[in-house]
Structure 1
Amino acid sequence: RAQPGAVASNNAIAMMLAKPPSNFEAAIIGAMAAISALLVLRARRQVCDWSPSAPFHWERKRAAMADLTANDVMVITDFDATITTGDSEQCHDLVGGSRLLSNDFRKDFAPLLDWTTDANIDGVPWWDAAHKLMVKHGMPPRQLIPRLVREAKMVPRPGALELLKSLEQHNVPVLIVSAGLSDVIEEFLRQHGALSENVVICSNRLNYDADVAPKSVTPDPPITSFTKEYAYSSASSFFAEHKHRRAIIQLGDSLSDVDPAKKVPYDHLISIGFLNERPDGRKHGDAFDAVVCGNAGSVHPVADLIEDIVSAKAGVSAAFKRALSRSRDVGGLSRSRSPSMSSSSSSK
């Protein structure tokens, strides 16, 4: 049984709790809440690599696609640092720096591998210079490409091969739009058992005649990180064949990787960007609907999303919800959705 003094004390506490806080007390409470929120965000940054750029915007897009099936969807994806990890060798770098190729070729190609030596080699002229050197030196010989790829530091991103296998099983067409080299991409996919009939590669191709040396590189002008918007015309037969598919899942690591879909008619589009080790995710947050962090950031959450869509499941999968529950604010992601965004890119 409570003592009278204890009852009086409890009544006093109850009156204090019932009393509205003063402006000063309210400010203190607000500051403490803000600090708690910042601590939560910091903890999330340390444990998670996945984040919708704006959760409400993402869920609204996702809900709009709830009734779609595998017959409604196509996937447009980059290759370097998207299907491969962010720290993998990229197609041109793999060729230009390989010790399997001639010393003269590597000596001439070396300045192109060092972006700090000459500012003029950046941009579209970079690809022109690289391809001219390949033709001039006859590098790489066709028969060496399998070994080049096999010995390269080129690693599939976690979950990427499983994603490609799932898309093959569901007969979802995949267009790889890359500023790299078709020959390298095809060989990489072949060696990993992922070069299936539903995959079309839109990239720069080394043209070999009866000789083993490349005689030209097409298309001309080349596909670069700055001209991916023109993939619509370069891959016109792909889009004509799949014109009934009005939903696009787009994957890439560079801001320009959203460009290939700009001229494609669609009803639904969800884009996922791979930030890799870039220190600031704001631009990626504006360009993509969701961002995956880290050089080896997994494709599994993307696979969960696509699996839901192609399986015609309503709502969001439990696995995807778990990924979202660990979501983080990536380097200060914002959601301005500005219609004009930079196409600059450090990856090819």
Structure 2
Amino acid sequence: MSGKMSSLLKQIISSYPHPEKVKIKDITKVGKMIDSLVSRGPESLQVITDFDFTLSKSHLPDGSPACSGPGVMNNSSLMSQDFRDKVNALYKKYRPIEFDHNMPVEQKIPLMVEWYQQRKNVVVASRVQRSQIEEMVTSCGVVLRDGAPKTLAWLNEEKVPVLIFSAGNGDIIEAVMKRDGVMFDNAHVIANFYKYDDEGFVIDYKNSTLLHVFNKNEHAIENSTYFEDISHRPNALLLGDHLADARMAEGMQDPETIFKIGFFNDPSQVEESLSLYEETFDVVLVEDQTFEFVNILLKFIFGRN
């Protein structure tokens, strides 16, 4: 950490039970940003968050990997081994491209679209029904981070709009949130939703433009009523676990303070990637499967401290 720590930042970190997990490159800048968020209060705030491994856990208490949104279908007993083999082959082909720091984003984008289209084609060929997706979610291993339901409830109480971006499937995300009782009216999921035929079978994506990790930002909602509703909220709390998530506020109208918190989930990548996260996010939380830091910050913004 470099710079001088503000009084508010000092209080937040001292209230957080794992200060060793907090990485801040410029504490002077972060202190000023927190002062701005708190002074303007909830009326000026919007929250922009990723879903998989941000709102949800990346690891379970025993250290085993948690399930992601795509994993709901991959791991379901309702799906065939042929389906799993095909989507796993796609994952092994395209996932390394997504995380290749040496490849320009412009080269990655058409490959991400190719990946999502091919995965959708496998889903369509497998004759997946809407009712099956709902059934898969009831027994899936997607677990929200400790404290995340409280976060979402507080944001709803304070009437703070929450924009949940995901390159995954929106039907699954909404089903998980409904399962956990946190699909509040202030929350909006922007993701790749399926289109169904009259019998409830998946036949395509509903949205004309596929969302992937490199284009999920506020440009995606520019022509919506929701975009107009948040136009008077110049401060944003942005939460993500992928370096590209830091761009989710792009397209935001007249921003004043965009405070970016990054969840660094993979300890094996510390030497390779942690410094990139510290460059990209204002605060990086290393191996923290909770929303404790977020909730402490919100207490100050909401005057609940």
Per the TM superposition, whether the score is higher than 0.5 is yes
1:97–1:110 CA contact under 8 A, matched in 2:
no
Alignment of 1:289 onto 2:282: yes
Secondary structure of the structure 2 residue equivalent to 1:274: strand
> In structure 2, do the counterparts of structure 1 residues 267 and 200 end up closer, same or farther at CA, with 3 Å as the change threshold?
same
Q: What letter corresponds to residue 43 of structure 2 in structure 1? A: N
The aligned length equals 266
Q: Shift of the alpha carbon at 1:64?
A: 2.3
Instruction: Pick from 162, 166, 170 the counterpart of residue 158 of structure 2.
Output: 170
1:232–1:264 CA contact under 8 A, matched in 2:
no
Instruction: Pick from 292, 300, 308 the counterpart of residue 292 of structure 2.
Output: 300
Instruction: Pick from 205, 210, 223 the counterpart of residue 217 of structure 1.
Output: 205
Superposed, 1:245-256 pairs within 5 Å as 245-256=233-244
Secondary structure of the structure 1 residue equivalent to 2:239: strand
1:90–1:180 CA contact under 8 A, matched in 2:
no
> In structure 2, do the counterparts of structure 1 residues 306 and 235 end up closer, same or farther at CA, with 3 Å as the change threshold?
farther
Deviations 1:12-39 (A, max 9, x none): xxxxxxxxxxxxxxxxxxxxxxxxxxxx
Q: Shift of the alpha carbon at 1:96?
A: 3.0
Instruction: Pick from 250, 264, 269 the counterpart of residue 258 of structure 2.
Output: 269
Query: Residues of 2 paired with 1:76 and 1:188: CA distance?
Result: 18
In structure 2, the partner of 1:62 is: 34
In structure 2, the partner of 1:238 is: 226
Normalising by structure 1, report the TM-score. 0.70
Q: Shift of the alpha carbon at 1:307?
A: 2.3
Q: What letter corresponds to residue 108 of structure 1 in structure 2? A: K
In structure 1, the partner of 2:191 is: 203
2:239–2:245 CA contact under 8 A, matched in 1:
yes
Q: Shift of the alpha carbon at 1:122?
A: 5.5
Give RMSD over aligned pairs.
2.4
Query: Residues of 2 paired with 1:117 and 1:96: CA distance?
Result: 15
Superposed, 1:48-59 pairs within 5 Å as 48-59=20-31
> In structure 2, do the counterparts of structure 1 residues 259 and 74 end up closer, same or farther at CA, with 3 Å as the change threshold?
same
Determine what percentage of the aligned residue pairs are the same residue.
24
2:218–2:250 CA contact under 8 A, matched in 1:
no
Instruction: Pick from 70, 74, 77 the counterpart of residue 96 of structure 1.
Output: 74
Alignment of 1:126 onto 2:115: yes
Q: Shift of the alpha carbon at 1:116?
A: 7.7
Deviations 1:129-183 (A, max 9, x none): 11122123222x2112233122222111121111111111111110001011111
> In structure 2, do the counterparts of structure 1 residues 160 and 178 end up closer, same or farther at CA, with 3 Å as the change threshold?
same
Q: Shift of the alpha carbon at 1:235?
A: 7.0
Alignment of 1:86 onto 2:79: no
Moved >3 Å (runs of 4+): 115-122, 229-236
Secondary structure of the structure 2 residue equivalent to 1:65: helix
Q: Shift of the alpha carbon at 1:186?
A: 0.6
Query: Residues of 1 paired with 2:282 and 2:186: CA distance?
Result: 25
In structure 2, the partner of 1:136 is: 125
Query: Residues of 2 paired with 1:91 and 1:154: CA distance?
Result: 7
Query: Residues of 2 paired with 1:233 and 1:173: CA distance?
Result: 14
Query: Residues of 1 paired with 2:153 and 2:25: CA distance?
Result: 27
> In structure 2, do the counterparts of structure 1 residues 235 and 102 end up closer, same or farther at CA, with 3 Å as the change threshold?
farther
Unaligned runs of 5+ residues in structure 1 are: 1-45, 318-348
Q: What letter corresponds to residue 52 of structure 1 in structure 2? A: I
Secondary structure of the structure 2 residue equivalent to 1:194: coil
1:202–1:235 CA contact under 8 A, matched in 2:
no
Query: Residues of 1 paired with 2:94 and 2:221: CA distance?
Result: 33
Q: Shift of the alpha carbon at 1:269?
A: 1.2
1:52–1:291 CA contact under 8 A, matched in 2:
yes
Alignment of 1:114 onto 2:114: no
1:91–1:180 CA contact under 8 A, matched in 2:
yes
In structure 2, the partner of 1:29 is: none
Secondary structure of the structure 2 residue equivalent to 1:80: helix
Unaligned runs of 5+ residues in structure 2 are: 1-17, 60-65, 98-107
Normalising by structure 2, report the TM-score. 0.79
